Copies of this chain bind each other. A is one copy, B any other.
Amino acid sequence: MKVRRVLLVSRPRGVAQAENFAIEETELSPLAGGQIRVRNAFLSVEPAMRGWIADRGNYSVPVETGSVMRSLAVGEVVESNAAEFRPGEVVMGWFGWQDYADVAPSAVVRRVKEVDLPVSLALGVLGINGVTALIGLETIGDPKPGETVLVSTAAGAVGSAVGQIAKILGCRTVGVAGGADKTRLCREVFGYDVAIDYRAAGLSEAIAAACPGGANVYFDNTSGAISDAVWPRLAVGGRVVICGTASIPSWDPWPTGPRLERHLLVKRARAQGFVVFDYADRWETSVARLAGWVRAGKLRYVEDILDGIEACPDALAGLYRGENRGKRLIRLRR
Q: A residues bordering B, Cβ < 8 Å?
A: 57-59, 220, 223, 227, 242-245, 248, 251, 254-275, 278
Contact A260 B260 (CB under 8 A): yes
- Contact, CB under 8 Å: A265 / B243: yes
When distances are taken between beta carbons in the complex, the residues of chain B under 8 Å from A278 are 268
Inter-chain contact A265/B248, CB cutoff 8 Å = no
Q: Name the residue of chain B whose CB is nearest to the CB of A223.
A: B261
The chain B residue with its CB closest to the CB of A48 is B265
- Chain B residues with CB under 8 A of A270: 270-273
Task: Please give me the 9 A-B residue pairs with the lowest Cβ-Cβ distance, nearest first.
Answer: A265-B273, A264-B273, A270-B272, A223-B261, A242-B264, A256-B256, A257-B259, A268-B273, A242-B265
Q: How far is the CA of A299 from the CA of B122 in the complex (A)?
A: 55
* CA A275 to CA B255, docked complex, whole Å: 29
Beta-carbon contact of A242 and B261 below 8 Å: yes
Return chain B residues, CB-CB under 8 Å to A268: 59, 272-275, 278
Residue of B nearest to A256 (CB): B256
Q: Using A269-B273, A271-B271, A272-B270 as known contacts, say yes or no to A262 and B59 having CB atoms under 8 A apart.
A: no
A256 to B275, CA, bound (A): 26
A248-B261, A260-B260 known; 18 other A-B pairs, CB under 8 Å? A58-B266, A223-B262, A242-B261, A242-B264, A248-B259, A251-B262, A254-B258, A254-B259, A256-B259, A260-B271, A261-B273, A263-B273, A264-B273, A267-B273, A269-B272, A270-B270, A270-B273, A271-B271
Chain B residues lying within 8 Å of A265, measured Cβ to Cβ, are 59, 242-245, 273-275
Contact between A223 and B259 (Cβ–Cβ < 8 Å)? yes
Q: Which residues of B contact A266 (CB under 8 A)?
A: 57-59, 273
Contacts of A244 in B (CB 8 A): 265
Contacting residues, chain B, for A263 (C-beta < 8 A): 273
Residues of B within 8 A of A255 (CB): 258-259
